[in-house]
Amino acid sequence: MDKIMEHYKRINRELVSKGSVIDYYQDTIEVNGEKRVTFDYIDHKGASAMVPVDSDGKIILVRQYRMAIDQETLELPAGGLNPGEDNKACAIRECEEETGYRPGETHHLIDLYTTVAFCNERISIYYSKDLTITHQNLDEDEFVSTERYTVDELVQMILDGKIVDAKTIAGILSYKTKMGL
């Protein structure tokens, strides 16, 4: 892998726009010491997600509208890291805020980069079968509903193209594999 990396050298990184969730940069890259090209780069603060499993063995997902694709999606509860927050605490907090269930004993499943071509967003995914009912605590701009499905139902929904969110697909398939389901 290092042999491939030696062909690229970042010459400059220029901030184009600073956002609340992401910062957008343009990088000038020198290729093979000869040609210079420009790449778009998005810096993300990181995020976490939870596979919350209820006492019936069903996974609780949230349905919400996503402006970027102009449609509703069915997703694992997830969100961005707060300053100083670790990934596990973020996953627990987001699960409770979005579903109204607080995970107790929590286990790590997988880490993934969502869009490696232009973004460094890394999501850590956890699971918990130890849920305590509390209440939803949604942000002012969040409107979500919760739904419960078996692992087999969710896998079929992935294969049918009804679940399109990458972190949700990775989390469900990782959970299924890790649990031997």
Mean pLDDT computed over every residue of the chain: 94
The model carries a pTM of 0.91
Query: Tell me, what's the pLDDT at 137?
Result: 82
DSSP-derived letter for residue 53 is B
| Amino acid identity for residue 107 in this structure | H
Alpha-helical regions (H) of the chain: 2-5, 87-99, 151-159, 166-179
Q: Measuring CA to CA, which residue among 48, 40, 177, 61 is closest to residue 121? A: 48
Domains of the chain: 2-44 (no CATH), 47-179 (3.90.79.10)
Per-residue buried b or exposed e for 11-47, using 16+ beta carbons within 10 Å of the residue's own CB: eeeeeeeeeeebebbebebeeeeeeeeeeebbebbbb
pLDDT by residue (tens digit) across 82-141?
A: 999 999 999 999 999 999 999 999 999 999 999 999 999 999 999 999 999 998 887 788
